Amino acid sequence: MKIDVIENVMQYNKDEAELNRKKFNENKVSVVNILSAPGAGKTTLIIETMKKLGSSINIGVIEGDISSTHDSEKIKEYTGNVVQINTGGTCHLNASMIAEAIKKLPLKELDLLFIENVGNLICPVGFDLGEKARMVLSSVSEGDDKPVKYPKAFVKTDLVVLNKTDMLKYSDFNMDFFNSKVKELNPATEIIALSCKTHDGFKRWEEWIFSMIKNSK
């Protein structure tokens, strides 16, 4: 008898992700799955985006964490449409967790749903959640070698956002090196460099979001 437990788990996740995707499409909501290392600024990017766009579009958030409601409590100040998933130790979200979480969200009312994955550039890579777009959020303070160290995350993404560009002046981060390594792995991806502190680069980020939403309507 063939032992194929892992294959089945991955197939099950794929099937569940397709069901989520169908539900998102029916409800015309754009879903973005955000992957990053701890401390890259996922929660801050979501909050700054809500501050800027919250009056023109309806944004929901699914927060993934091992434990604690630390991030969703911050986000609650900006939207009631936030659901916390505590994985209890698992290092990534999966499609079944998302299927449970969206039961608690008014999908029909939302234009955009951010899924903040567990902070980790390895485990979440293999798990489709049914999102429309996946993005990797990197940050200047992590250094310019992240594409070299965590290549799979950068290969399997639709967008790379580089946060904390306000730190460039205090750092030896080499932007050309970072960009060229990302492009080697994923020639099609766009790279948006921005700062959640100064909002430099936010214009392009907002355009990207609006074009995503337009595509889902």
User: Of 9, 56, 106, 122, which lies in the binding site for a copy of itself, with binding defined by CB under 8 A?
Assistant: 122
Q: Binding of a copy of itself at residue 121 (CB under 8 A)? A: yes
Instruction: Return d(Cα 10, Cα 63) in angstroms, integer.
Output: 22
User: Of 100, 145, 200, 207, which lies in the binding site for a copy of itself, with binding defined by CB under 8 A?
Assistant: 145
Return the closest-CA partner of residue 188 out of 133, 128, 148, 144: 133
Q: Binding of a copy of itself at residue 168 (CB under 8 A)? A: no
Q: Binding of a copy of itself at residue 9 (CB under 8 A)? A: no
Q: For residue 150, list its beta bridge partners.
A: none
Q: Binding of a copy of itself at residue 51 (CB under 8 A)? A: no
Supply the angle between the helices 42-53 and 202-216 in degrees, to the nearest 10. 80
Q: Binding of a copy of itself at residue 66 (CB under 8 A)? A: yes
Q: Binding of a copy of itself at residue 38 (CB under 8 A)? A: yes
Q: Binding of a copy of itself at residue 118 (CB under 8 A)? A: yes
Q: Binding of a copy of itself at residue 32 (CB under 8 A)? A: no
DSSP 1: -
Q: How far is the CB of 66 from a copy of itself (least distance, A)?
A: 6
In the complex with a copy of itself, which residue's Cβ is closer, 37 or 59? 37
User: Of 146, 157, 159, 196, which lies in the binding site for a copy of itself, with binding defined by CB under 8 A?
Assistant: 146
User: Of 8, 55, 170, 217, which lies in the binding site for a copy of itself, with binding defined by CB under 8 A?
Assistant: 170
Return the closest-CA partner of residue 199 out of 36, 40, 49: 49
How does DSSP assign 86-152, residue by residue? E-TT-SS--HHHHHHHHTTS-GGG-SEEEEE--S-SSGGGG---S-SEEEEEEEGGG-TTHHHHSHH
DSSP 43: H
Q: Binding of a copy of itself at residue 63 (CB under 8 A)? A: no
User: Of 48, 65, 116, 158, which lies in the binding site for a copy of itself, with binding defined by CB under 8 A?
Assistant: 65
Are the C-beta atoms of 31 and 115 separated by less than 8 Å? yes
Helix (H, G, I), strand (E, B) or coil at 186: coil
User: Of 26, 39, 56, 108, which lies in the binding site for a copy of itself, with binding defined by CB under 8 A?
Assistant: 39
Q: Which residues bind a copy of itself (CB under 8 A)?
A: 37-39, 65-68, 70-71, 89, 91, 118-123, 139, 141-143, 145-146, 148-152, 164, 166-167, 170
